[in-house]
Amino acid sequence: MKQSNALLVVGLTFVATLGGLLFGYDTAVISGAVSSIDANFIDPLNLSETARSSLSGWTVSSALFGCIIGAIVAGWVSKAIGRKGGMMVAGALFLISAVGSAYPEIGLGPIGGMGPQALTPFILYRILCGVGVGIASMLSPLYIAEIAPSQIRGRLVSFNQLSIVGGILLVYFVNWAIASHGDETWIRTTGWRLMLVSEAAPALLFLGLLTLVPDTPRWYVMKGRVEKAHLVLARLVGDVEARTTIKEIENSLIVPKDSTGVSLFAFGKLVIVAGIMLSVFQQFVGINAVLYYAPLMFKNLGASTDSALWQTVIVGLANVIFTVVAILTVDRLGRKPLLIIGGVLMGISMVTLGCQFRANAVGTGPLISAIAYIAGFALSWGPVTWVLLSEMFPNSIKNKAMAIAVAAQWIANLFVSWSFKILIGNSALNALFNHGFPYWVYGGMSFLAAAFVYFYVPETKRRTLEEIQNLWKRGLGHAPAAVRQPAVG
């Protein structure tokens, strides 16, 4: 690829990955504010233990309900106004919700003077932000996959995951820096609001840069704007290859209906089931329970607030480092081996962490187990799941199929995040397992995830998006022997 073309691809990828950064930022920003939200909005209600844990879990994970909505509508949005237009909608939602969730009393009452009555608007703003996350979580990797060369598509889509974990790490530092400016009382009155409103800055950057980029060639072809698609492709790969690629895209959009007349299953049910299960397993391994509640996890092991936040930063660093490992290996080793290796490593780490909780272990042992778990996820199920979801679905069903898979992912995320707070706050379970029970569950799910990939997920590395379509059409056992590598996958 020419240097100018490569720089263009990298530039477009960078802009799209800001959607991933906001995804990660929003995922983790709540971790520093959980105790303050409980103290301001939930503790004054004097609820029972189970009711309090349930309401707290819903408050923290309410954004995930919005993520489900966002993922469901993302397919329609991306088809109607484009991948770029959909990402702009997500950016606007990030901006509005950052301000609204930090100051939910705006327009309703004095800031800090409404008490538990501010909980409802707070949850509504978090749901609104979740809609933005749901849209961005689908469209950012999809945008990258549709403009990336096939031979490095896995690497470039993995940069979106690097941006996600980078956003998580960034907000860990932001939360720590804000928390260091005052004591617990200041954090519960002012600090938590600054944590949440800080998301407005990257949201503004995302919106500004999106105004400078085109939409993807595949969306232009889908809308009949072939000349515009050719202009974009010509800048990416040259005039001759652009004409060839446009013909392939046009041919890939022609698909026969299956015997039931449902075009979604025209390539068989396995591709849909595989996409859904990859999404569900990515959450059932427990990653967001660890990310959302990392400070709480370390506090349960006896760490102070400051120490817990620093250990959380260390976990975030490991997340970034091993995501880089995935970027360097996903197009060499392939998607399938990484998912299997990661699943086994996560399973061992979670079972070990559960045992350490039960034994009331302190010191570096639990931290090492958490880092090993994060390493397993970051080099496999974090980035590689998104790579597969962005490339495995045929063009003609991609909008619907990917929306279904991503919605399933957010439903699973909501279930895990909500149930974790209930499990970790249950006195009976804690008497038996000392906060360790959920981690054993996540370990078992990690082993099941590795087994599912081994038996049911095909390898897609170095295949164009159109060749992957043929793979599903012919069946997993009859993939094309010769793999051609045009400039754009």
User: Could you give the CA distance from residue 195 to residue 458 in angstroms, rounded to a whole number?
Assistant: 42
Asked whether the predicted pLDDT for residue 192 surpasses 80, the reply is yes
Q: Which of 307, 315, 312, 326 is nearest to 387 (CA)?
A: 326
108: closest CA among 124, 129, 91, 132?
Answer: 124
Query: Average pLDDT, whole number, for the chain?
Result: 81
Q: What is the pLDDT of residue 339?
A: 93
Alpha-carbon distances of 96 from 130, 131, 443, 450, rounded to whole Å? 12, 12, 37, 39
Which span out of 134-148, 387-401, 427-441 was modeled with the highest average pLDDT? 134-148
CA 114 – CA 43 distance, rounded (Å): 14
CB 438 within 8 A of CB 420: yes
pLDDT single digits (tens) 90-135: 999 999 999 999 899 888 988 888 888 889 999 999 999 999 999 9
pLDDT digits (tens, 9 = 90+) for 53-81: 778 878 877 887 888 899 889 888 988 99
Q: Is the pLDDT of residue 198 over 90?
A: yes
DSSP class of 378: I
Nearest alpha-carbon partner for 428 in 439, 441, 437 = 437
Residue 175 contacts residue 52 (beta carbons within 8 Å)? no
Q: State the pLDDT at residue 451.
A: 94
CA-atom Rg of the chain in angstroms: 22
* Residue 302 scores a pLDDT above 80: no
- Which amino acid does the sequence have at 21? L
Q: Side chain identity at 165, as an amino acid letter?
A: V
Residue 333 phi, psi (nearest 5): -75, -30
pLDDT at residue 348 is higher than 90: yes
Q: Which two tokens stand for residue 373?
A: 């778990």
CATH 1.20.1250.20 fits 3-254+265-478, yes or no: yes
User: What does the CA dihedral 268, 273, 275, 281 come to, rounded to 10 degrees?
Assistant: -160
Q: How confident is the model at residue 443 (pLDDT cuts 50, 70, 90)?
A: very high
The model's pTM is 0.73
Place of tokens 């082993």: 447
Could you count the other beta carbons within 10 Å of the beta carbon of residue 288?
20
Contacts for 433 with CB less than 8 Å, ≥ 6 apart: 354, 357, 358, 440
Which H or E run includes 276? helix 270-284
Residue labelled with tokens 């249950």: 426
Q: What share of the chain is helix, strand, coil (3-state, %, to 5)?
A: 80, 0, 20
Beta strands in 192-326 (DSSP E): none
Extents of the domains making up the chain: 3-254+265-478
What is the pLDDT averaged over residues 17-31?
85
Q: Smallest Cα–Cα separation from 450: which of 335, 362, 342? A: 342
How many alpha carbons lie under 13 Å from residue 432 in its C-beta half-sphere?
Answer: 8
Residues 6+ apart with CB under 8 A from 277: 452, 456
